[in-house]
Amino acid sequence: MQKLRLRYAKRGRLRFTSHRDVARSFERALRRAGVPMAYSQGFSPRPKVSWIGASPTGVASEAEYVEFQVVRLVDLEKLRLVLDEALPPGLDVLEVVVSTGGNLTERIEASSWRVELPGVSPDELRVAVAALMAAESVQVERATKDGKRILDVRPAVVSALVEDQSSDAGHDGPDLSQPCGILVTVVRQTTPTVRPDDVLSALRVVADLAPPVPAKATRMAQGRLDDDGGLVDPLAPDRVAESEPVAGEQERR
């Protein structure tokens, strides 16, 4: 049995897909691709798939992770290609590695987000971000299925800055003919989870910042925090282990 770790992106209109529907799409893709999945035991066997920190509905992502087990060795690049082909456009398999053990969830403690705010000037956004980072506590209200909930956003925000608009932005980037503030923020994955819309609510509390149109959020990375507040790629230890020679091979070399 072999445990694999996969990084995938959720792009375009697929950002509005719920996590449950994403999971169903993956299970169908695994069957269509003929992946030799390992299954749980019991009355209703299920494929051994574990999801790690799925992004909220309505946001895009370049760094979603899932673990699954197979019953025989597979070619990783071939698996990536056939799975990517079997998934709907917008769910894109970026990388597959062999797990070297441990818990992938323990390698993820924060996310990096890029949030485009059309109709908000970069200078206006900078003033709001400075007010947020200067505050010790910023409480916001979130609507849940059990009613309204109050949470403190500020302790979860590790860093926040305003990215300058670039004239070479791609076709999925903001419309440079209109003002568009771009917020780049690193947020700890606390309990309860602080989401990009909670950070925007905090900006509204501290600086009365209210974008005229909905913001577009994209998760750019997940990982452990390093000493500088950056994120360490959670798959890096697996890649390093795969690149190292197996026992005895170093001696032969």
Q: 88-113: per-residue pLDDT in tens?
A: 999 999 999 999 988 999 999 999 99
Same domain flag for 117 and 213: yes
Q: Percent of the chain having pLDDT more than 90?
A: 76
Residue with tokens 């109050």: 150
Q: Which tokens go with 92?
A: 């894109």
Same domain flag for 83 and 186: no
Same domain flag for 210 and 140: yes
Amino acid at 239: R
Report the chain's mean pLDDT, rounded to a whole number: 90
> Is the backbone of residue 159 left (phi > 0), alpha (psi -120 to 50) or beta?
beta
State residue 1's pLDDT score. Answer: 84
State residue 166's pLDDT score. Answer: 59
Instruction: State the pLDDT confidence band at 17, using cuts at 50, 70 and 90.
Output: very high
Does a structural domain hold residue 161? yes
Instruction: State the pLDDT confidence band at 33, using cuts at 50, 70 and 90.
Output: very high
Same domain flag for 128 and 225: yes
For 71-92, the pLDDT digits (tens) are 999 999 999 999 999 999 999 9
Per the model's pLDDT, the better-predicted residue between 32 and 167 turns out to be 32
E strand or H helix that includes residue 128: helix 122-134
Same domain flag for 46 and 133: no
Q: Which tokens go with 35?
A: 């992946």
Same domain flag for 135 and 87: no
Dihedral angle, C-alpha 78, 81, 85, 86, nearest 10 °:
50
Same domain flag for 93 and 157: no
Q: Which tokens go with 232?
A: 């360490």
Same domain flag for 151 and 204: yes
Report how many domains make up the chain: 2
SS3 123: helix
Does a structural domain hold residue 201? yes
Instruction: State the pLDDT confidence band at 171, using cuts at 50, 70 and 90.
Output: very low
Does a structural domain hold residue 154? yes
The count of other CB atoms within 10 Å of the CB of residue 53 is: 18
For 48-70, the pLDDT digits (tens) are 999 998 899 999 999 999 999 99
Same domain flag for 198 and 144: yes
Range of the domain at 88: 2-106
CB neighbour list of residue 108: distance below 8 Å, 6 or more residues apart: 52, 53, 65, 189, 222, 223, 224, 234
